[in-house]
Amino acid sequence: MDCLFCKISRREISAEIIYEDNDTMAFLDINPRAPGHTVVIPKQHAENILELTAGAVEPLFLTVKKVTAMLKKAFEPDGFTIGINHGKASGQAVDHLHVHIFSRWRDDGGGSVHSVVDNPPKESLEEIALKLKN
Ligand code: AMP
Ligand code: ZN
């Protein structure tokens, strides 16, 4: 597969790999936005969470949990932001699902996940819930 993160998972392109198992890999982001900024990927190529097979979801998030614990031990941050850019509109640049893990400090200048969008709906929550459940 001609995909940057598939190539990293096959070790055809080098990266600072900090964790690997049969299903997943975690490596340092080449352009870190925080100390230890890590991306966790499934080895199975999937562009996003909707394309990932159900069985690959648990191993992926178990690795997110393990790597978060590794970062906590190494950097002792005040918190974390854990997130996925899903689709170009959200900022996804690499078309292979990856979960970003950012260590966070009270004074690091960042915001919460709420700060990535400010587009409140016109419909009521009730209307939206109905639309989703129908
Ligand atoms: P996204 O915008 O969510 O698709 O993020 C892609 C991330 O991959 C960015 O934070 C990049 O800095 C990172 N990235 C791109 N190429 C590499 C690479 N060769 N090794 C490690 N991280 C990379
Ligand atoms: Zn891939």
Query: Which parts of 69-115 are beta strand (E)?
Result: 79-83, 99-104
Residue 23 pLDDT class (50, 70, 90 cuts): very high
Ligand 1 pocket: which of 10, 30, 41, 81 to mutate (most atoms within 8 A of CB): 30
Strands 24-28, 38-42: pairing is antiparallel
Q: Which ligand is nearest to the CA of 44?
A: 2
Alpha helix (H) ranges present in 23-124?
54-75
Phi, psi angles (nearest 5°) of residue 16: -85, 85
Q: Does the pLDDT value for residue 113 go beyond 90?
A: yes
Residues 31-81: pLDDT tens digits? 999 999 999 999 999 999 999 999 999 999 999 999 999 999 999 999 999
Identity at 88, one-letter amino acid code: K
| Architecture label for domain 4-133 | 2-Layer Sandwich (3.30)
Beta partners for residue 42, in sequence order: 24
Under 8 Å CB-to-CB from 124, ≥6 apart: which residues? none
Q: Does the pLDDT value for residue 95 go beyond 90?
A: yes
Is any atom of ligand 1 closer than 6 Å to the C-beta of 89?
no
Is any atom of ligand 1 closer than 6 Å to the C-beta of 14?
no
User: Structure pTM?
Assistant: 0.97
Residue 1 pLDDT class (50, 70, 90 cuts): confident
